[in-house]
Amino acid sequence: MSGMDIKRLAESLHPIEARAVAFLKNLKTLHELVAATGLSEVEVMRALQWLENKDVLKTHQEVKELVKLDTNGELYSSIGLPEHRLLKALKKTALSLDLAAKAADLSKEETGVSIGVLKSKVAVTLENNKLTITENGKKMLDKPALEEVFLKKLATSKAINILHLAPEEKFAFDSLRKRKNIIKTVLEKTRFVELTPTGKELIKIDMRALEHRVDRLTPQMLRDGSWKSRTFRRYDVRINVPRIHRGKRHFVNQATDYARRVWIEMGFEEMEGPLINTSFWNFDALFTAQDHPVRDMQDTFFIQNPQKGKMLDRKLAERVKAVHEHGGNVGSAGWKYSWDAEEAKRNVLRTHTTVLSAKTLAHLKKADWPAKFFAVGKCFRNETLDWNHLFEFNQTEGIVVDPDANFRHLLGYLKRFFSKLGFPQARFRPAYFPYTEPSIEIDVFHPVHQTWVELGGAGIFRPEVVEPLLGEPVPVLAWGPGFDRIMLEYYKISDIRDLYRNDIKQLREIKEWMR
């Protein structure tokens, strides 16, 4: 780098960078720079990161495992190890356990440990509750034990690198580490700084000349004209700065928000409601028989507490009961069973957002026709978890209440919606649902697994659904495709479980939902 470039670099330094550079000639570690510069450790770290990004220096970290004295070790380094003090007490005569412990000023725990250590070294014998020193024990008194020598060295040096222990010190270390609170090991991390050729040129510049630079132009400077006499810090707009990950909505929420905007643009009004509903709204109001397999525990999450909801509107319940038992007044045979009001009270995590459509129809007045409603919300089914199924999923719901609506209108709404979501390869095939007739199934083609993936159903609500809820036989278009699988194609995700893994790398790097 030329002299001119070095000068321009110096003029672009942040004040904490300039202060750090002023000490880099003689100091090479993070801790040394913190002590010398007067900056906090965080400020020095930030300065080093910025300088490394400008190719002024390189940093690397060394990790050392150090052995230090613990609380008991600090005491024993001055007064001696318990076993050594016990040997001294036994030097002249044999003593009982209690007298020996008292003479050596040992606790009960220290006495037990000391006897164990000395017996392993054949330094004492214990007979008839009396401790006696052996000849080997007397020899040990004449020469300090390796453990005591090691403790005194630690007391002097404060810490020793485990890699630098001599063989006898390693022996003492292994012996003492088995005992309570005598020694401890700690990891010490040291960050070192190495100047690059650019950095070696930069430290030749006197950083004190840069102390009076101004970082920003203020309104006061403009008013009083003082900016004319100020020296401003140079900014390098080409510098490769660290990437900053901004806060943003979860990509699943981005997608569901987009679906809401699409429906609103198409003139629909949003329906909202709780995740927990009675079986009446989730099943019965939609002409799903109480003995239908879809209500089985393998498909549905029933609530244990509270197990049942409040009593239904009596007149509405009677109309739904009549439709289930004998078809009511809609010209249907019904399901021909005895409808149970208590079964209809059972609380359940909603298995579809169609529960919102049922509630909306029940409260809709004739003066409000024609009307269009939609919902985007979570549903729950007891599915086997795999790449294509979740037990929690998002569904988009829609109904159109219009005396002039027909099946072609239904297909038109669906095609319009899917085209706005970028799914030209969608198909509609005949299907059966207990609450719509005619009914269709909606599929999209999965490009990775090379298979058609089912999204959900659509159709026209049966009279058995509409007349008890709405009071009149008016056509109601309805649909409820799952929305999670719609997201898979856009985000190029081949496993539906990846929608909710909350992997931080995925959340940072995944593209925005933009259609």
| % of the chain exceeding 90 in pLDDT | 45
pLDDT confidence of residue 401: 96
Whether residue 285 has pLDDT greater than 90: yes
Q: What is the pLDDT of residues 367-426, one digit of tens each?
A: 889 999 999 999 898 887 888 778 888 899 999 999 999 999 999 999 888 888 877 777
Which strand ranges, in their side-by-side order, compose the sheet holding 183-195?
160-161, 57-69, 183-195
Q: What is the pLDDT of residues 244-283, one digit of tens each?
A: 888 889 999 999 999 999 999 999 999 999 999 999 999 9
pLDDT confidence of residue 90: 87
pLDDT confidence of residue 4: 67
Question: What's the whole-number mean pLDDT along residues 425-448?
Answer: 84
CB-based burial, 330-363: b 16+ in 10 Å, e otherwise: bebebbeeebeeebbbbbbbbbbbbbbbbbbbbe
Could you count the other beta carbons within 10 Å of the beta carbon of residue 227? 14
Q: Which helix (H) or strand (E) holds 295?
A: none
pLDDT confidence of residue 294: 79
Nearest-CA neighbor of 258 among 394, 381, 372, 399? 394
Average pLDDT, the chain: 88
Question: What's the whole-number mean pLDDT along residues 281-300?
Answer: 85
pLDDT confidence of residue 244: 81
Q: What is the pLDDT of residues 466-495, one digit of tens each?
A: 999 998 889 999 998 888 877 887 888 888
Whether residue 462 has pLDDT greater than 90: yes
**Which residues neighbour 107 within 8 Å (Cβ) at sequence distance 6 or greater?**
101
pLDDT confidence of residue 485: 76
State how far Cα 281 lies from the chain centre. Answer: 35
Whether residue 459 has pLDDT greater than 90: yes
Report how far residue 417's alpha carbon sits from residue 210's, in angstroms, rounded to the nearest whole number. Answer: 62
| % of the chain exceeding 70 in pLDDT | 97
pLDDT confidence of residue 482: 81
Q: What is the pLDDT of residues 35-90, one digit of tens each?
A: 999 999 999 999 999 999 889 999 999 999 999 999 999 999 989 999 899 888 88
pLDDT confidence of residue 261: 93
pLDDT confidence of residue 56: 92
Whether residue 455 has pLDDT greater than 80: no
pLDDT confidence of residue 219: 93
Helix, strand, coil share (%) of the chain residues, nearest 5: 45, 20, 35
pLDDT confidence of residue 138: 87
The domains found in the chain, sorted by start residue, are: 1-56+196-242 (no CATH), 69-182 (1.10.10.10), 253-509 (3.30.930.10)
